[in-house]
Structure 1
């Protein structure tokens, strides 16, 4: 706790002066364009990894970066917190992208790999059940995470599974169909301090280095331009 207090004082003395205008603006409302779903692990710090400021990311953090799937009627009666965050961010904020980010050496994945039984933690045990479908993929998919320890392979496959869980929500399906939302699977290698992105065309995660970063930026620009043209065409028809 002493570290937190000292850090707060340091923030007030050295950082706050340059952020006063930012917080004054944010006091009037937020307009993040990305929903970032990551693990609660203390070693994963989304704002640090992507160099974002306050107000840039709408974040959801939980054990294992899990997204409980919705039922056929679009509700999630078991775990409403994540469901509420998805509905709020996609329905009331200008979110254009959703990132699900897993990481190496994930304790949740190790627990699932060991059978998902956590003595003395019944709530955690039930929560981890949302990640067990990835175990099937671990046996069937040998390409994703090839060469990594099983827990890290499971972590990467779990990212892909949670992206599928996202698609069980009506608002996600509707916005994907309308072309107003993009889903991204990321994975953070803690030891190398390297973020990887899933390449569907390659069927695996690749490091977001300078080359891959430029490719992603170009793809996003092209997608935005295409979306703008389609919207303009729709307005012309109307």
Structure 2
């Protein structure tokens, strides 16, 4: 714990003064342009990956970067999505999976989660991706997990479209969705091309989007 306290003291002493004007502006309002939904994995840091400052990203993190489909009993993820889209008016939503994801590994390798019933219940929101992934042939155990990570991003993009605030924003052409997979070892990101439904290198295709534009309106 002491290392966290030391880190805060260093932030207060060295970093905060550099951004004092920024924090003064953020003290009473926020205007993030992107909702970033990522896994809780300690190796995935959205602000570091995207080199964003405080106030730039509205972040949701949970096991497996999951977005449950909208239902009669919406939870914290649903409320956060709704606030970001309907309240803050974000223009983009990124759902970001990552390599070596523990949640996706558990699903892909059919690990027993009886000792973690809450985790098992939560990962039922990945059942659609699991069904697709299990129906495919995989060259290796790692390929099976990597495929599960990608399919889960696609499944969660489908889930988030069931949220009324998202459906409306997409229909009105004021929101775009993005599906990313971050590779921890190489630092690269593969992004879903909504036109082909294939993942491509974001570095080579910086404008790729999971919701391709049709006649100026995000699909």
Structure 1 unmatched runs, 5+: 228-238
Partner of residue 232, structure 1: none
Deviations 1:148-194 (CA, angstroms, capped at 9, x unpaired): 62111100110000000001111111111110110100010011111
TM-score by length of 1: 0.82
Q: Could you say if the C-alpha distance between residues 118 and 140 of structure 1 is closer, same or farther in structure 2, counting changes exceeding 3 Å?
A: closer
Contact between 1:146 and 1:153, CA under 8 Å: does it hold in 2? Answer: no
1:212 pairs with one of 169, 182, 205: 205
Distance, in Å, in 2 between the alignment partners of 1:122 and 1:17 is 45
Contact between 1:98 and 1:182, CA under 8 Å: does it hold in 2? Answer: yes
1:197 pairs with one of 171, 187, 191: 191
Q: Could you say if the C-alpha distance between residues 146 and 120 of structure 1 is closer, same or farther in structure 2, counting changes exceeding 3 Å?
A: closer
2:82 pairs with one of 58, 78, 87: 87
1:4 to partner: Cα distance: 0.9
1:91 to partner: Cα distance: 1.0
Q: Could you say if the C-alpha distance between residues 146 and 57 of structure 1 is closer, same or farther in structure 2, counting changes exceeding 3 Å?
A: farther
Over alpha carbons, which structure has the higher Rg? 1
Q: How does 1:16-35 map to 2 (within 5 A)?
A: 16-35=16-35
Partner of residue 166, structure 1: 160
Deviations 1:109-164 (CA, angstroms, capped at 9, x unpaired): 01112336413211111001111210122145679x99962111100110000000
Distance, in Å, in 1 between the alignment partners of 2:35 and 2:121 is 25
Partner of residue 60, structure 2: 60
Distance, in Å, in 2 between the alignment partners of 1:95 and 1:187 is 21
Distance, in Å, in 2 between the alignment partners of 1:177 and 1:165 is 16
Q: Could you say if the C-alpha distance between residues 52 and 141 of structure 1 is closer, same or farther in structure 2, counting changes exceeding 3 Å?
A: farther
Please give the secondary structure, in 1, of the residue aligned with 2:165: helix
Q: Could you say if the C-alpha distance between residues 33 and 47 of structure 1 is closer, same or farther in structure 2, counting changes exceeding 3 Å?
A: same
Q: Could you say if the C-alpha distance between residues 195 and 147 of structure 1 is closer, same or farther in structure 2, counting changes exceeding 3 Å?
A: farther
Count of aligned pairs: 213
Partner of residue 12, structure 2: 12
Deviations 1:63-96 (CA, angstroms, capped at 9, x unpaired): 000011113xxx3x1x510010011111110201
Partner of residue 95, structure 2: 100
Partner of residue 233, structure 1: none
TM-score by length of 2: 0.89
Contact between 1:109 and 1:151, CA under 8 Å: does it hold in 2? Answer: yes
Deviations 1:40-64 (CA, angstroms, capped at 9, x unpaired): 0000000000000000000000000
**Structure number with higher helix proportion:** 1
1:204 to partner: Cα distance: 1.8
